[in-house]
Structures are given as C-alpha cells and as structure tokens.
Amino acid sequence: MIVFACDVGGTHARLALVELEGKPRVVAREVVRVVDWPGLLEPLRAFLAAHRAAPRLGCVALAGTVRDPRRVQGLNLPWAVDAEELEAQCGFERVLLINDFEAAARGIDALGPEDLLLLQGQPNPERPRAVLGAGTGLGQAFLLPSPAGTRVVPTEGGHRGFAPTTPLQDRLLAHQRAIHGRVSTERVLSGPGLAAIYDFLLSEGRPACPTIGDATDRPAAVAASGHATCQEALGVFLEIYGAEAGNVALTVLADGGVFLAGGIAPKLLADPARQELLRGWFVRQGRFRDYLEGIPLAVVTEPNLGLLGAALAVHPRA
C-alpha cells in the first residue's frame, strides 16, 4: 500500500510516497523550500500530479505542538496546515497531522542495522527509548513499551531551559540571555544555535572566519569551515549535544537507546573524534555516569526517518 507522507520543518518541506509492503520505503520524494510557497496545498497538488498518484491516506508531520489534529500552526512554520482542506482538495480519505518528532520516533522501528551509526551499545525495542535531533529547532520524543504496544510521546523538551556544563557555556548562557531573555536549549542546540555559538566566540575575542559574514546559510558555513573559531564552535555544539542527549536519557530512563536524528548529526558525526567528544559528554552525568555508559547511543543515518514514521502513523502495521 502506498501512502502520502510529508515532513514540514522551518526551512524545507519533504513530500513523499511511501510503500508500506515489506520494509517501508520511500518510492518518490521531493523537497521544497517553505518560503517559496504560500502553503502546503500548492506543492502537494503539484507533487501528486507529477507522480500521477492518488493515495487514500496521508500524514503531515510538522515542527511544532499539535494540539488540534485537524489544523496546525507550528512555532517555526511560516504557514498553517489544514487537514480538512487537504482532504477536500486532493482527494484523501484521511489526513493525519502529527508532531515531526513523533514521526521520527515512529520511524525508528522501520530502520535496519544499516540505518544506524552505533556510538555505544545495542538498542533494545522492549525498553524505553528516546529520539532527539537538532535542525532548524531541537525536537525530542519518547518511545515507551506497553502491553498494547509501543506508545510514542511527542514533547517540546527542546524548549526547556539551557543548562550549561562548563565555564565557557556559563558565559554563552549570559550572552544569549542578553539577547533573548529566557534561553531554551534550542537557542544553542540547533542550526541557528551553532551560528549563535560562533557569534558568542567572536564576542569573546576569537578571530572571525572570512567566509562566514557573507554566507547565506551561516550554520552550514560554520559546520563546513576548517577555521579555528568555527571548529571551536563545533566542539562546544557537540558538548552541548552530548550533554542534552544524556539529560534526555535520564528523563525517561532510556535503557532501550537514545537516537540522534535530523540532518545535522550524521554530517557532524562522521568523524570518529567528534563521535567520541559527543559520547564523552553523553555519559558525563556525575553520579549517573555508570548508568549512562550502559545506555545505547546511535546516530540515525537514514535520511527519510520522519517520512517513514509519518507513513506508519497514518497506516500502522500489525
């Protein structure tokens, strides 16, 4: 069975057709910039027409809190998504709207070993698990086992207050507080957060990288640069990423594993030295260090995690 799945973030919308027979797989996919369209309806119509597709079921995963399953205006989204409108205009029998990290969490069980980069341990689906990922924002969700099957719990944990773990991060917090007032973890652990760390280091007297000032995508430019200040910013970012992953693991006692999803983690963590830096801060949890050493930690390398999870949300398999 083929269903429509869409993952809408603050920057891009990913539209796909997903085949659910056997191992779920994406059979058609298109990425559009959200700023180029007034809403989801127009690119969705164009996508379905281009692929001559008329799926009965669809699911749209959005970056934001989904209080109303029929209409969502996410915190990081430029436009609202209306399920009734999509059903009426595109011929769907049913369109489901869910949080983007609920979709990511639901996609975890569709992955094979080849879709994960293990940093420590082996995941166990019979124990609690957690998924988090830095992108335009910072998403988090939990997978909790129950007699009725796995329960997925979306959260807005990325908006908890940032807790620094080093003197440098103390100053980073003060720097961000002067700009924003309250400082959530997302302010420093996201694409924009990486750029914010770089700017903070400049305020500390570090030399500027000549290519960053004119870059249209500053987070990507910082991540790609070998300049000393950019490399230091990446190091601070990975320290925060590892520590936050450890915090999330403790929140739900994620003995089944912690999964790092999103587009940033696979790119930054291809380097073994960076893997060890993040893992070191993951387990650096004081009296709970030994406990964290036993929790599986993995990077999701499958780029379509959210699309697979969205498809499974609207048409779960037995």
The domains found in the chain, sorted by start residue, are 2-109+304-314 (3.30.420.40), 157-300 (3.40.367.20)
pLDDT band at 9 (very low <50, low <70, confident <90, very high): confident
Contact 162, 188 (CB under 8 A): yes
Which pTM was predicted? Answer: 0.94
pLDDT band at 24 (very low <50, low <70, confident <90, very high): very high
Place of tokens 């949080």: 99
Q: How far apart are CA 110 and CA 16, in angstroms?
A: 16
**Angle subtended at Cα 267 by Cα 266 and Cα 273, rounded to the nearest 5 degrees:** 90
> What's residue 75's pLDDT?
65
> What's residue 76's pLDDT?
66
pLDDT band at 74 (very low <50, low <70, confident <90, very high): low
Q: How far apart are CA 270 and CA 272, in angstroms?
A: 6
Q: How far apart are CA 182 and CA 301, in angstroms?
A: 33
Average pLDDT, the chain: 95
Q: What is the pLDDT of residues 133-192, one digit of tens each?
A: 999 899 999 999 999 999 999 999 999 999 999 999 999 999 999 999 999 999 999 999
Please check the confidence at residue 78 and state whether its pLDDT lies above 90.
Answer: no
Tokens of 32: 């559009």
Q: How far apart are CA 187 and CA 179, in angstroms?
A: 11
Q: How far apart are CA 10 and CA 17, in angstroms?
A: 21
Spatial CB neighbours of 242, under 8 Å, sequence gap ≥ 6: 277, 278, 279, 280, 281, 282, 284
**Dihedral of alpha carbons 193, 198, 201, 205, sign:** negative
Please check the confidence at residue 317 and state whether its pLDDT lies above 70.
Answer: no
pLDDT band at 69 (very low <50, low <70, confident <90, very high): confident
> What's residue 77's pLDDT?
74
What count of Cα atoms within 13 Å lies in the side-chain half-sphere of residue 276?
3
Mean local confidence (pLDDT), 204-225: 95
Please check the confidence at residue 12 and state whether its pLDDT lies above 90.
Answer: no
Count other C-beta atoms under 10 Å from residue 201's C-beta: 22
Mean local confidence (pLDDT), 64-79: 81
Please check the confidence at residue 311 and state whether its pLDDT lies above 70.
Answer: yes
Please check the confidence at residue 306 and state whether its pLDDT lies above 70.
Answer: yes
Spatial CB neighbours of 296, under 8 Å, sequence gap ≥ 6: 118, 120, 121, 122, 123, 124, 256, 257, 258
Q: Which of 31, 251, 38, 24 is nearest to 158 (CA)?
A: 251
Rg, C-alpha atoms of the chain: 20
Tokens of 3: 């269903």
> What's residue 316's pLDDT?
81
Tokens of 167: 């003197």
Please check the confidence at residue 35 and state whether its pLDDT lies above 60.
Answer: yes
Q: What are phi and psi of 206, to 5 degrees?
A: -70, 150
Ranges 70-84, 158-172, 291-305: which has the least confidence: 70-84
Place of tokens 């003197």: 167
- Coil, strand or helix at 285: coil
Tokens of 175: 């720097």
> What's residue 276's pLDDT?
98
